[in-house]
Structure 1
Amino acid sequence: MKHPVHDFLFTYYAQRPAQLRRWHPGYGVRLLDAPSYDGLKGYADGAVTPEHVASQQPLLIALSRLLRATAGRPANFGCFGMHEWAMVYRLSEDETRHADWPLRLGPAGTDEVVESHRIACSHFDAYRFFTPAAAPLNTLSPTASDRPEFEQPACLHAGMDLYKHAFRLTPMISSDLVADCFELARDIRELDMRAAPYDLQDLGFSPVRVETAAGKAEYAEAQRVFAARGEPLRARLIEECERLLAV
């Protein structure tokens, strides 16, 4: 059985565990007596080459733009994790993405929560998984091409995506930064699914009952903590993009 919380970090994100475990020093550092690295993409003579960095200019420019736009936007702590609820709206329990796990409130109760809340998801990769019935309920319409116009620093998915941005910059940046972003993504994912409509108590995840006032307050406070943890990581990624763009 797939793990509904942790498997996400290796299925939704393309980085495999073996890739995560391999350490890279980043551009500007040469490894001595490390012949195994010479067969890796971007390496020659134990170091990441300037030619590889130059070939990644389009990625670096796009990531820098997205990260700067996200960092410069006010944080929104009012979404209350409704994206996960919108992903199961008007579905039967055996049609959901995690059909092995029951909905805490059942299908009818889940639908009622969606219908009684304002849905304001700013993250395209969450919004695109809304059910057809839920998509028109979103007050925003993010697309794959306009992420810098929507993403904001309190969004759980924007926080988890720092890990994606970091490993896409591998091997040009230090694996220490990738690991820090992975740790944040892991912790955020637990909140993401604790606030989701699924009952995961058998796995040890107590629910954050975002359908209640107390649950909303708990969720928003956790968002603030994660936004604060993500801010320096986002800043470090921006610095790395600028450093590499100057190569």
Structure 2
Amino acid sequence: MHPTVDATVDPTADTAVLSHEEWAGRTAAHEARVDRWAVPHRERRQRGEPHPVLDFLFSYYSESPGRLRRWHPGPGLALAAPAPHAEWRWYTADGTTVRLDVAAFLADRGDTVRFVRRLLAATASRPAFSGCLGLHEWAMVYRGTGTRHPIPLRLGQQGTDDVVEAHPIRCSHFDAFRFFTGPAVGRNRLQPTRETQVELEQPGCLHAGMDLYKWAYKLSPATPGHLLADCFELAVDIRVLDMRASPYDLREHGYAPVAIETPEGKAEYVAAQRGFAERGAVLRARLLELCADLIDG
């Protein structure tokens, strides 16, 4: 959580003004929070050392570590000048304060804000389904000739195929489904497309939970830094479960498997998935509130 501060009220606008000390403190706290992942990622990259779990947060998702470290106040706060934000896109300065130029932001990114609002509202309106068991990762290597990561399959190829064939697959997330192998596509009870994303996205889906981070940075710089970091932390935690429950053997990398082919593994996965759905629901509501603040004023 970001620290509570006593911000002064600007009588000329419906925003509070953070003193230099206050916004500098929030900036430093945000950078330290993000550096927990950004610094090791940068050091691994310099060594040419890929990470099979965490690199995903900086490769599949397009936000760079540098942009992730950049703290933004959001639309409800102004910063006592001088502030570096004055040189950043979609900010405006009046000599004494620096703030987000909401009108300019919406002129350029209004369609994105409206899409994110529509998608998140539709997702939040549905019950969370927690019976997928992470089989999307298994479907991505089903009857394949190779793997998506240079890591051995925990049960081997035949054992992996047997697990897929023994379980129904109900993946509702297009950005997972599009990586299914050809033989796995027809086994999915749903056939999601980009066009049906708003119709099918549901809040129990691990990828929908991770994607809250994507929607948070797609709304940047309007997204307050603490909300962006909260979404990123959820994405990290979900990614770890996603790969622990995958067919890959990650024990040499320090990740114990969640063996979803067993009753115990199924129970562990479902419990974790429900917990992530609850965390995601809170963040989804905060992102929807941000969209409403931007669009409705």
TM tier relative to shorter chain: over 0.9
For 2:113, the equivalent position in structure 1 comes to 60
Distance 2:67 2:183 in 1: 38
Greater RCO (Cα-Cα under 8 Å, separation 6 or more): 1
Match for residue 136 of structure 2 among 78, 83, 108:
83
Deviations 1:177-197 (Å, cap 9, x if unpaired)? 000001111000000000000
Distance in 1 of aligned mates of 2:167 and 2:250: 23
Task: Kindly state the Cα deviation for residue 212 of structure 1 after the two structures are TM-superposed.
Answer: 1.1
The equivalences for 1:27-46 within 5 A come to 27-45=75-93, 46=98
Which deviates more from structure 2 when the two are superposed, residues 188-197 or residues 146-155?
Answer: 146-155
Corresponding residue for 2:270?
220
Structure 1 residue 38: deviation in Å?
Answer: 2.4
Aligned partner of 1:208 in structure 2 is: 258
Whole-Å Cα distance in 2 between the matches of residues 184 and 111 of structure 1? 30
Tell me how far apart the structure 1 counterparts of residues 52 and 269 of structure 2 sit (CA, whole Å).
Answer: 19
Aligned pairs for 1:42-121 within 5 A: 42-45=90-93, 46-49=98-101, 50-92=103-145, 95-99=146-150, 101-121=151-171
Moved over 4 A (4+): none
Task: Provide the rounded CA distance (Å) in 1 between the counterparts of 2:56 and 2:83.
Answer: 33
- Name the aligned partner's letter for residue 222 of structure 1: A
| Among candidates 204, 210, 214, match of residue 164 of structure 1 | 214
Runs (5+) with no aligned partner, structure 1: none
SS of the residue corresponding to residue 181 of structure 1 reads helix
Equivalent residues, number: 244
Larger radius of gyration: 2
Q: TM-score, normalised by structure 2?
A: 0.80
**Aligned partner letter, 1:197:** P
Change (3 A) 1:124 1:33: same
SS in 1 for 2:238: helix
- Check conservation: 1:53, 1:172, Cα contact below 8 A: no
Query: What is the Cα deviation at residue 116 of structure 1?
Result: 1.3
Q: Pairwise CA RMSD of aligned residues?
A: 1.1
- Residue matched to 1:17: 65
Q: What are structure 2's unaligned runs of at least 5 residues?
A: 1-48
Map Cα deviations across residues 140-198 of structure 1 (whole Å, 9 max, x no partner).
01111211111111100000000101011111121110000011110000000000000
Q: Are positions 1:231 and 2:281 aligned together?
A: yes
The DSSP-based 3-state class of the residue aligned with 1:31 is: strand
What does the per-residue CA deviation read over 1:105-139, in whole Å, with 9 as the maximum and x for residues that have no partner?
00111011111110100000000010111111111
- Tell me the alpha carbon deviations over residues 190-225 of structure 1, each in whole angstroms, 9 at most, x when there is no partner: 000000000001111000000111111110010111
User: What's the offset of the Cα at 1:43?
Assistant: 1.4
- Residue 187 of structure 1 corresponds to 237
Amino acid at match of 1:47: R
Q: Deviations over 1:10-50 (max 9, x none)?
A: 00000111111110001242222345222222112122212
TM-score by length of 1: 0.96
Share of identical aligned residues, percent? Answer: 55
